[in-house]
């Protein structure tokens, strides 16, 4: 018989887990592997609440196994290093994002695209090399191979910086890869949530003109005055959409639910690019006419590799980019998840793990 999550490893850990697809989280005592030669043990201080955590808790994608401890926007401090660890020392401030391992041998791994390695191991809801489950950052500590750990820049706040580990890299990577960084070009950002609001800030830092495309008119003044967007388009207002048709060079689509791509494609210029990052539980319809007639492109992108994640952190440190956060205690996570489901967060919940009751 396999051992219980509390007994399978020597290091004791406390977290909060969803037990079934109701998604309700509750305290969960478990354990972490002993720190091996290549590992660092991290005391978790903060963890961002990504919409992927909500999708996973609710089993939106049909792949969740319970108990499920979410969390992949982790910031903490190193408490232990293995003998072969050269990248970090005890007391270093570090981050962990969406993955904790990969094969290190395939073409993707060799090209610093570990995020596309077929054997990549997710920070939670995955299976470790030793056959045990991975549990994420809604917990007090984690053990991670040094390769997948990031140096957290000194000048960034640990709490507001945490969301960069997923939201930050998820929007930064496609902007680089798809060539969406030419200063003066016009970027649309669909969905002003965790990913979207960081996309606005990174887009502005790259010198782009940024328009938010949102279903929430009440976010307009903040989008412009606080986040720095140049303009705001309510996607449910046909007249406004019509007036903006054919004006955008690129769109980053962060919408978490099933939605129509047609209005977004119509906003693009000829040769425009629509990059979809959201992961709704059902497929989207792809309108072919605006693609073909305008030589437009639809692409996707999944977080980013470790090297690029470090580069993104340095970029954000240089430009003072962090998330706008609502800091919560773990005890408030279920209410926070309910609000996240209603797009009612400004603009990322971050859990103050070390001051929470676990």
Name the strand (E) or helix (H) holding 168: helix 167-177
- Please check whether residue 313 is in contact with residue 152, taking contact to mean a CB–CB distance below 8 angstroms: yes
When asked if residue 125 is in the footprint of Zn ion (CB under 5 A), the reply is: no
Long-range contacts from 296-300, C-beta under 8 angstroms, 24+ separation: 296/265, 296/268, 296/270, 296/271, 296/272, 297/178, 297/271, 297/272, 297/273, 298/261, 298/265, 298/273, 298/274, 299/174, 299/178, 299/273, 299/274, 299/275, 300/275, 300/276
Segment near ligand NAP (CB under 6 A); pick from 4-12, 28-36, 44-52, 203-211? 44-52
Would you tell me the crossing angle of helices 167-177 and 306-318 to the nearest 10 degrees? 100
Judged by beta carbon distances under 5 to 8 A according to partner kind, the member of Zn ion, ligand NAP, none in contact with residue 273 is: none
The verdict on 343 binding ligand NAP (CB under 6 A) reads yes
When binding is defined by CB under 6 A, the residue of 100, 120, 180, 195 that contacts ligand NAP is 195
Considering only 25, 40, 165, 166, the residue that binds Zn ion (CB under 5 A) is 166
Residues in contact with Zn ion, shown as a per-residue x/- string from 46 to 85 under the rule CB under 5 A: ----x-x---------------------------------
Find the shortest distance in angstroms from Cβ 166 to Zn ion: 3
Q: Cβ closer to ligand NAP: 301 or 356?
A: 301
Nearest approach in angstroms of CB 112 to ligand NAP is: 16
- Interaxial angle between packed helices 306-318 and 194-205, expressed in degrees from 0 to 180 and rounded to the nearest 10: 70
Taking CB under 6 A as the criterion, the residue among 51, 186, 273, 296 binding ligand NAP is 51
Q: Is 302 in the site for ligand NAP (CB under 6 A)?
A: yes
Q: What is the H or E stretch that residue 306 is in?
A: helix 306-318
**d(C-alpha 258, C-alpha 65), whole Å:** 23
Decide: is 192 part of the binding site for ligand NAP (CB under 6 A): yes
CB of 290 to ligand NAP, least distance (A): 19
d(CA 162, CA 16): 18
Binding residues (CB under 6 A) for ligand NAP: these are 50-52, 55, 166, 170, 191-196, 214-216, 219, 254-257, 259, 277-279, 301-303, 340, 343
Rule CB under 5 A: which residues touch Zn ion? 50, 52, 166
């Amino acid at each position: 018989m396999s051992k219980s999550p509390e007994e399978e490893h020597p290091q004791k850990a406390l977290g909060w887990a969803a037990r079934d697809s109701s998604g309700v989280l509750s305290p969960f005592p478990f354990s972490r592997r002993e720190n091996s030669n290549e590992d660092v043990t991290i005391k978790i201080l903060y963890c961002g609440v990504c919409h992927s955590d909500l999708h996973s808790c609710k089993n939106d994608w049909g792949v969740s196994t319970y108990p499920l401890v979410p969390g992949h926007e982790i910031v903490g401090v190193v408490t232990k290093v293995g003998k072969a660890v050269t990248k970090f020392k005890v007391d270093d401030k570090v981050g962990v994002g969406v993955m904790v391992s990969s094969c290190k041998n395939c073409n993707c791994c060799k090209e610093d695209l570990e995020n596309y390695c077929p054997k990549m191991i997710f920070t939670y809801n995955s299976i470790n090399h030793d056959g045990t489950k991975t549990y994420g950052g809604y917990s007090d500590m984690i053990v991670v191979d040094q390769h997948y750990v990031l140096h957290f820049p000194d000048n960034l706040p640990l709490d507001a910086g945490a969301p960069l580990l997923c939201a930050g890299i998820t929007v930064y990577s496609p902007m680089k890869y798809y060539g969406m960084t030419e200063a003066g070009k016009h970027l649309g950002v669909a969905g002003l949530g965790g990913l979207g609001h960081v996309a606005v800030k990174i887009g502005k830092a790259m010198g782009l003109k940024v328009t938010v495309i949102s279903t929430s008119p009440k976010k307009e003044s903040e989008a412009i005055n606080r986040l720095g967007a140049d303009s705001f388009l309510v996607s449910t207002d046909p007249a406004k959409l019509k007036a903006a048709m054919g004006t955008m060079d690129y769109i980053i689509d962060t919408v978490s639910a099933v939605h129509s791509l047609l209005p977004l494609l119509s906003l693009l210029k000829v040769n425009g690019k629509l990059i979809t990052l959201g992961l709704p539980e059902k497929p989207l319809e792809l309108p072919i006419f605006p693609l073909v007639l305008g030589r437009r492109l639809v692409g996707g992108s999944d977080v980013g590799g470790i090297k690029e994640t470090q580069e993104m952190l340095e970029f954000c440190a240089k430009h003072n980019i962090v998330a706008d956060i609502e800091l919560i205690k773990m005890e408030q996570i279920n209410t926070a998840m309910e609000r996240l489901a209603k797009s009612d967060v400004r603009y990322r919940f971050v859990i103050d793990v070390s001051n929470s009751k676990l």
